[in-house]
Amino acid sequence: MSEKSNTPEIKKGLVGVYADVSTISKVMPETNSLTYGGYAVQDLCESCSFEEVAYLLWHGELPTAAQLEAFRREEAAQRAISPALHRVIREFPHDGHPMDAIRTAVSFMGLEDPEAGDVSDAAQRRKAMRLLAKIPTCIAAAHRASKGLEPIEPNPAHSFGENFFNLVFGKVPQPEVLKAFDVSLILYAEHTFNASTYTARLVTSTGADIHGAITAAIAALKGPLHGGANEAVMHMLKEIGDPKIAREWLQSRFDHKALVMGFGHRVYKSGDSRVPTMRKYAEKMAEVVGDRTWMEISRILADEMLTKKNIHPNLDFPAGPAYYLMGFDIPLFTPIFVASRITGWAAHVFEQGADNRLIRPLSWYTGPEQRPVPALDAR
């Protein structure tokens, strides 16, 4: 048998590989649907707050009113960050990317956490709550520091969404904007074994703590093929600028065989289940602001991509303009994804920890055969 025929089947990019079982969420590409704990994500968006969905992801069931109240109180009580972390954040280079800032802040919080080395399920859950509560404070403090502004103290009376807006802008927007933001957080919260979530599980499988797992997950999420796409989408829409030239712009991307950000998905090949809901709320934001430019360019790009390439948009495509219309600076888009996805990442950290086996795949070696080491002067 030739050497080549001995090669095991390599699933490049682990395409189509089931790496473990999970009870957290289910993607059904054949019906373009996604459920968290058995609930359709679009139903959760219409009926629940982000906090209820966070509880669902961490406990497997939606909370009762009393459980929700306790969850909210616990989260709201832990939003403040230490003076030391505030000092570190003020020292961050002001032109650095906020994803690097939040990655560093989470790592720093791991150093400070009183239960840092405790990877018991109870301790990991307490640390996850602290991360959920403090990540928005870090994102907003770093953002404001980069603009020469003082940080704003979190207000425990605010909901998670209200708190985020208040920390960034110093005010809470109208209910339609808050609802659209909450919907985006619910849609971004969880999505099975995507690259960042699998990174968190892999780090957890070594016995490392949750701050390490989340730091690594943030690094993975930053990439433009993953979470970074929501920022890339808005840069693209701004570069096009005018619906009249959208088709021509897209054709030049096709001519250069370039990627069009916010399109395509590893799992969904006939449409991302989260897009219709996010698009509906992005359209509402366009109405609130009174500017349809970005949604009009988006519509043209989506139509053309479907007709000419048979490629559908993913969640980042409507989320990018929605956040822009809510008033957020583009470099905050992927950090907002972090503020939401910490819930899904943590759920996977708990699940991996509960039934752990070290994740350690094999590589099929294709380098040179074994050979003697030549002396330095003989190379």
| Catalytic residue status for 316 | yes
Go through 137-152 and write b for each residue having 16 or more CB atoms within 10 A of its CB, e for each that does not: bbbbbbbbbbeeeebb
Does position 260 interact with ligand ACO (CB under 6 A)? The reply is yes
Which candidate, 75, 28, 56, places its Cα nearest to that of 347? 56
113, 182, 272, 316: which one is catalytic? Answer: 316
d(CA 43, CA 21): 24
Candidates 89, 135, 168, 229; binder of ligand ACO (CB under 6 A) is 229
Candidates 63, 98, 110, 262; binder of ligand ACO (CB under 6 A) is 262
**Which residues are within 8 A (CB) of 347 and not within 5 positions of it... i.e. 6 or more apart?**
24, 57, 58, 190
Nearest to ligand ACO of 141, 233 (CB atom): 233
Instruction: Report in angstroms the alpha-carbon separations of 178 from 69, 132, 230, 281, 297.
Output: 19, 18, 19, 11, 24
Applying the rule CB under 6 A, the residues between 278 and 317 that interact with ligand ACO are 311, 314-316
Stretch that binds ligand ACO, among 104-112, 125-133, 221-229, 323-331 (CB under 6 A): 221-229
Candidates 64, 149, 259, 276; binder of ligand ACO (CB under 6 A) is 259
Rounded least distance, CB 330 to ligand ACO, Å: 15
Candidates 79, 211, 226, 341; binder of ligand ACO (CB under 6 A) is 226
Nearest to ligand ACO of 59, 238 (CB atom): 238
Nearest to ligand ACO of 179, 266 (CB atom): 266
Does position 99 interact with ligand ACO (CB under 6 A)? The reply is no
Does position 246 interact with ligand ACO (CB under 6 A)? The reply is no
Nearest to ligand ACO of 80, 311 (CB atom): 311
d(CA 55, CA 73): 13
Nearest to ligand ACO of 210, 315 (CB atom): 315
Candidates 63, 98, 212, 264; binder of ligand ACO (CB under 6 A) is 264
Q: List, by residue number, the catalytic residues.
A: 265, 316
- Which positions touch ligand ACO (CB under 6 A)? 13, 225-227, 229, 259-266, 311, 314-316
